[in-house]
């Protein structure tokens, strides 16, 4: 199986590529900014599954939302159709999809492009609406508050908490990737509205102040050469994430 991953050097892409490296019988076709567009044209003729993660979240210019999140994806799907490639396509969208913002509009436009593509080719469209994913490789001041807090606290830099009691609803990257990879073997069914989301039992709810306190406790232990006492699954996942920002 040839698996095409766009945005392969990004947060989700890097984690997926690492996971797929251990899967027998697969070849990973990686594409990201800087790659030759001709490579992408060839990959579109060869791939048996497409994971599309290439997107912008905080661009310098608002027009990039439309150009990258929508039009680049539309062009990619058109290249699949040129080769009559009916491979399944998994798109990472967002809970902000459809909101009246440039980002929200670009995300719902991408979703609609994939729905039309799947109808035209009678192929499978897998659209995930994700929220607040944390884990290794997330960029600080970009992907998530967890990444920003981990990066700053590990380096002794200040963090800003404007609303300490605000509760974050978090999903761990390994759980997200496991759900994605399941689709290589058919995977789960979508929810009633046609979109895929991770189940609530994989969600971790924590206030910003408690999140910061936990990370500061990790730093204090490591500074003393000690390993923190891990009391639950979320704490273990957060600690692994924090460690990735100390290297």
pLDDT digits (tens, 9 = 90+) for 209-219: 999 999 999 99
pLDDT at residue number 169: 95
pLDDT at residue number 235: 98
Long-range contacts at 233-239 (CB < 8 A, ≥ 24 apart): 234/204, 234/206, 237/134, 237/135, 237/172, 237/174, 237/204, 238/134, 238/146, 238/211, 238/214
Can you say whether the dihedral through the CA atoms of 241, 244, 187, 233 is positive or negative?
negative
- List residues with catalytic annotation: 103
Instruction: Pull the structure tokens for residue 82.
Output: 């040129």
1-130 maps to CATH 1.20.1600.10: no
The full set of domain ranges for the chain reads 1-130, 131-172+199-247
pLDDT at residue number 188: 80
- C-alpha 170/C-alpha 134 separation (Å) is 7
| Positions of the chain with pLDDT under 50 | none
Note whether 1-130 and 131-172+199-247 share their fold.
Answer: yes
**CATH code for residues 131-172+199-247:** 3.40.50.720
pLDDT digits (tens, 9 = 90+) for 33-82: 888 888 999 999 999 999 999 998 888 899 999 999 999 999 999 999 99
């Amino acid at each position: 199986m040839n698996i095409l991953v766009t945005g392969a050097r990004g947060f989700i892409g890097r984690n997926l590529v690492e996971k797929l490296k251990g899967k027998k019988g697969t070849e990973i076709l990686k594409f990201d900014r800087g790659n030759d567009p001709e490579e992408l044209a060839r990959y579109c003729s060869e791939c048996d599954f497409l994971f599309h993660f290439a997107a912008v979240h905080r661009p310098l210019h608002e027009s990039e939302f439309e150009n990258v999140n929508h039009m680049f994806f539309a062009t990619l799907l058109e290249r699949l159709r040129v080769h009559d490639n009916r491979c399944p396509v998994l798109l990472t969208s967002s809970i902000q999809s459809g909101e009246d913002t440039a980002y929200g509009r670009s995300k719902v436009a991408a979703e609609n492009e994939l729905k039309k593509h799947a109808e035209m080719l009678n192929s499978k469209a897998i659209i995930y609406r994700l929220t607040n994913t944390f884990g290794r490789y997330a960029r600080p001041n970009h992907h998530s508050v967890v990444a920003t807090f981990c990066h700053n606290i590990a380096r002794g830099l200040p963090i800003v908490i404007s609303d300490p009691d605000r509760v974050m609803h978090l999903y761990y990257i390994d759980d997200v990737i496991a759900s994605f990879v399941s689709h290589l073997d058919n995977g789960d069914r979508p929810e009633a509205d046609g979109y895929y989301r991770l189940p609530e039992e994989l969600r971790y709810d924590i206030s910003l102040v408690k999140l910061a306190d936990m990370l500061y406790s990790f730093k204090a232990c490591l500074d003393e050469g000690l390993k923190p006492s891990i009391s639950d699954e979320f704490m273990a996942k957060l600690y692994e994430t924090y460690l990735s920002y100390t290297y």
